[in-house]
Chains A and B, each alone.
Chain A
Amino acid sequence: MNKHMNMKTKILFLLAASVLLMGCDRDEESLFDKSATERLNEALSNASTTLAGAENGWEMLYYPNTTSCGYNMLLKFDAHGSVVVAACNELTTHDRYVEDKNSTWTVKADYGPMLSFDTYNNILHAWADPQTDGDGYLGDYEFLVLKTTQDMMRLKGKKHKAYTIMYRLDNQVKWKEYFQQVNALRDIVFTGNDGMPMNIITPEKTYEYVYQSGILQDPDSVEKDPFPFIIRPGMIQFYDTGINGAVHFVLNNDRTALVCTDEGHADVRIESALSPVEYYDNRLNLRARWTYIDEGSDSDTRLQVANLRDKASANGAVIDKIAFEKTASLNSRGVKTYAHALYVSFLVEGKVFEGCIHLNYSADGEHITYSYKSADASLEKLLLRMAATKAEGAKMFTDIFCDTYSASSYSGSSLNMIHMSLQSANVTNKSIHVVANTASL
């Protein structure tokens, strides 16, 4: 028994000695050459120097939070602590180019280096201002610096956790022109285009999405991840890892698709889900009016419309809007019926009136066709000023607007057809420019 105890004690002794001696091994190699403190200080100084070192500043692709669409800002960091921030967007600068030069920045230690904009900048902090609901746009102004290179910084919002990327701007980029280029691409593809069905086409599958305020959304529900993006000069860039790794897209030459430029994803594209005629029809069904616009219509057509306006004003009425529409009404049995019409609004003695001329409508794959059906009593007040009978007056309108048309995007991009050109299939010098008035949606 005693011997056994001794044995146990010996084992304990050996174990203790080995553990203790191991614990004292000071020859362990450090993974790093420098201490954590030195490395942190170096990271802080590296981030600061890089930021202030960009002569023409940085392009920031800013997402206020992980569910929002993104916005561009340009920033120039001064080595002595001030920062200039510029933007041009609908929400915070009302589509004007605005700079604010009177605020400060710093890089300090947090969980690593943290870039903080620590006094209020009208452009940057507009995204973080709690406004009256306590949330505002839920944006950040303190960012953890995840990665620093000479040309790029990857940041993460400290409170709302969205990733933000900054690219060093080339010295020749002029700030105002940067936003002009962004807006040029925006106007071609996205302006007014909310609700546009777009397909994301990959070699394996086509995904149906809808464009909505800077985000490609699942049209039906939230089953599929939304894809927010930012428009940059000449390209769009999706948030974070984009569409399964496809991040950068450019508009192709015939403006029919946004095509991915990333290696390994060149066959990913985004196209309109609808043909021009389908889109024209789709908007009518959503109760949009297709309103005639002089500018961009054929000169012969414009002359005809000008004559029409002159005829009306010579008889005391001013024609305001002329538009194609689809109306819904309930019949006596309570069943909803639809009818197509040419909507006209006009002023007599300063008062606004509106009415319509009923039309027959048909649409096939290539063409849409309108023809006269009947004149509405509501337009009597105008038509009887212009002609002896309602039908004669209505004919003056339908002679111009009723025809068989081929439809195409006015912007030239089939991704954005909010403006359309309707080209007569019968008369070469007859085309009309119409815009889908979403305000009536």
Chain B
Amino acid sequence: MKKVYQYIVMGLMAISFAACEEELNSKSIFVDPVQDPEAYTKQFDDWLKRNFTDTYNVEYLYKLDDSATDPNYNIVPVRLGMADTVAHLSLYLWYDAYNTVVGPHFLSTYGPKMIQLIGSSMINAAQGTEKLGYAEGGIKITLMKINAMDVNDVEQLNHYIFQTMHHEFSHILHQKKTYPKEFETITPADYDPSGWQYRYDDNIADLWKREHPAWEMGFVTCYGSSEAHEDFVETIANYIVQSDENWQYMMDHAGTKGAAAIQRKLEMCRTWLREQYEYDLDEMHREVQKRQGDLDWDKIMHLYE
């Protein structure tokens, strides 16, 4: 009898689960984004779709969704005009440079899937630091402090955008294929994740020359002296965007030991990029320098249909 009851209980349970099976609601929780043909940003959005989404499979996010950022920081969105300018500059100074040097498929394969723009930086007042960009999981690159940028100043463009883009993109590259462990043995003692920001020479306003205390320790920038993987991508990014003159200035002011360490790191980056990605770092440097030297706004703003 006991068994019978048990079977009945099991049977009831089976029935009850079957009865509770509910048909899924076919209505999505999201409203279909109906394209408004008169939308204020339609022209720009269509242009972005053609030049970024269709060409490189990348979403260019300029309208800020604060929930997609770190809630611990106060940030603001980007100005529409700056979003437009930076989009054009990115195609000219970044995408086209990679297209020329490593071929048109490189960025659609390895490139970020999202580029997010933010108007301000993320300021950590307690530490005296500000974040100008970050990369997440090889998928998304966030560029910051766009509103404050003087687009006619190449040094600033590099400091706020392109050095950051090459930096973050190099993170993506080494997250896919690890960089050589020997890199971490060149200047192992001087990495300081919490004190690197005190290494700048605050008496110097020039964004490059104020990095000189790091040079003497064998890093191309103070931020590079924070951690080895930052050092690795800072070496690549700065080699690309800094002029020959700036690079030489650094080597001349790094002292024998510092210059030797930087040279060794550069060689390692060069070899790694060539072997892993068939990417010629020197050619990239030359291509970017050529483009930086020829910032013809009229041309750039009409270059992409």
Binding site for B on A (CB under 8 A): 5-6, 9-10, 12-13, 16-17, 20-21, 23-24, 26, 35, 37-38, 40-41, 44-45, 78, 80-82, 102-104, 106, 108-110, 116-120, 125, 128-130, 132-136, 138, 141-142, 158-159
Contact = CB atoms under 8 A, between A and B. Distances in A.
B119 A125 contact: yes
Given A9-B2, A23-B20, A80-B39, A119 B125 contact: no
A44 B31 contact: yes
Contacts of B204: none
Nearest to B62: A119
Interface in B238-278: none
Nearest to A13: B5
B77 A117 contact: yes
Interface string B219-247: 00000000000000000000000000000
A128 B16 contact: no
B9 A16 contact: yes
Interface string B13-27: 100100110000101
Contacts of B79: 102-103, 119-120
Contacts of A138: 74
Interface in B38-95: 38-41, 62-67, 71, 73-81, 83
B164 interface: no
Contacts, number: 125
B74 A128 contact: yes
A120 B125 contact: no
B303 interface: no
Contacts of B76: 120, 125, 128-130, 141
B12 A159 contact: no
Interface of B: 1-2, 5-6, 8-9, 12-13, 16, 19-20, 25, 27-31, 36, 38-41, 62-67, 71, 73-81, 83, 119-125, 147
Contacts of A78: 40
B24 to A, nearest CB: 12
Given A6-B2, A41-B31, A159-B71, A103 B80 contact: yes
Nearest to A142: B66
B39 A159 contact: no
Given A5-B2, A119-B62, A134-B73, A20 B12 contact: yes
Contacts of B63: 104, 106, 118-119
Contacts of B120: 129-130
23 contacts: A9-B5, A16-B12, A23-B16, A24-B16, A26-B19, A35-B25, A102-B81, A104-B63, A108-B65, A116-B65, A118-B64, A119-B63, A120-B147, A125-B77, A128-B74, A130-B76, A130-B120, A134-B74, A134-B122, A134-B123, A141-B66, A141-B77, A142-B66
Contacts of B9: 12-13, 16-17
A244 B1 CA distance: 70
A130 B36 CA distance: 33
Given A81-B41, A119-B63, A37 B29 contact: yes
A134 B83 contact: no
A126 to B, nearest CB: 9
A159 B124 contact: no
A80 B40 contact: yes
Please indicate which of the listed interface residues A5, A40, A128, A132 has the most CB atoms of chain B within 10 Å of its own CB.
A128
Contacts of B65: 108, 116, 118
A141 B64 CA distance: 10
Nearest to B42: A80
Please indicate which of the listed interface residues A16, A41, A125, A130 has the most CB atoms of chain B within 10 Å of its own CB.
A130
B75 to A, nearest CB: 6
B1 A118 contact: no
B25 A119 contact: no
A103 B40 CA distance: 9
A132 B39 contact: no
